[in-house]
Amino acid sequence: MGKIKVTKVKSAINRTQNQKRILESLGLKRIGQTVEHDDTPNILGMVNKVNHLVSVEETK
């Protein structure tokens, strides 16, 4: 199982409450903040819901 780096690149202002909660559950609070997660279906589903607010990079 690989790892992914998720970086918040856009603000969550004027977004739905669901998208704000997804960003919070991913551990992203500030623009430019990067977190590393396992490459699981749960995490990928959350990233897919907010893909317009984050950038994703695969790591090993």
Q: What is the mean pLDDT of residues 46-59?
A: 97
Give pLDDT, residue 18. Answer: 98
Give the model's confidence band at 56: pLDDT under 50 very low, under 70 low, under 90 confident, else very high.
Answer: very high
Could you tell me which of 24, 26, 44 has the C-alpha nearest to residue 35? Answer: 26
Q: Supply the pLDDT for residue 3.
A: 97
* CA-closest candidate to residue 4, choices 29, 31, 41, 30: 41
Q: CA-CA distance, 20 to 8, in Å (whole number)?
A: 12
Buried b (16+ CB within 10 A) or exposed e, 4-19: bebebeeebeeeeeee
Kindly report, residue by residue over 9-18, the tens digit of the pLDDT. 999 999 999 9
What would the pLDDT profile of 2-46 be if each residue is shown by its tens digit? 999 999 999 999 999 999 999 999 999 999 999 999 999 999 999
